[in-house]
Amino acid sequence: MSLYLHVNGRRRIMKILLGISGGIAAYKACDLISKAVKKGHQIRCIMTDNATNFVGSSSIEGLCGVKPMRSSFDDAMGHIEWAKWADVACIAPLTANTMAKIACGIADDALTTTFMAIPPQTPILLCPAMNTEMWNHPATQRNLTWINQLKRYNWVEPVEKRLACGDFGIGGLAETTDILNAIETA
């Protein structure tokens, strides 16, 4: 079974907007991009400043062929154009910080500004990745509830596994294959 979008029985290449926020799982964005490109999808990425501490913007550009957006000031209307361009949008990894910004409607960087401008018919997937204690924190759970109340976002749930900090528990980024499957079926 093919997971590509089909239009009149023909495979359709998807335009994927990927937000990368600054957690240790940011390096997995490279694998996600590589898998999407190998399937023929077009991909554009937006990186938070903290994400660039974990993976270089040159690596992202090399994988998807498009320079990642890092500031909404690089191109005054770029965030609007990119928001309209996407067939589907995804943030992977979604850190507790970016999750809190979404829950509260804060648009203070290229990623959150662009994602606030995404048209309502465009599916948005959120893929959290954080330490178990951060995931279980009452503020994070409240933010999860607030985001769900918006009825605008879909989740690729974090998984239970050994985390980068050495702890074992919920909070690991879902496998990139599972994320790409969710993107393709969104």
User: Any idea which residues carry the catalytic annotation?
Assistant: 165
Distance of CA 159 to the CA centre of its chain: 16
Q: Report the candidate in 45, 92, 86 with the shortest Cα–Cα distance to residue 67.
A: 45
**At residue 186, what is the residue type?**
A
Residues 6+ apart with CB under 8 A from 18: 29, 32, 33, 43, 44, 45, 46, 89, 90, 91, 92
CA distance linking residue 185 with residue 179, whole number of Å: 10
Q: Is 160 helix (H, G, I), strand (E, B) or coil?
A: strand
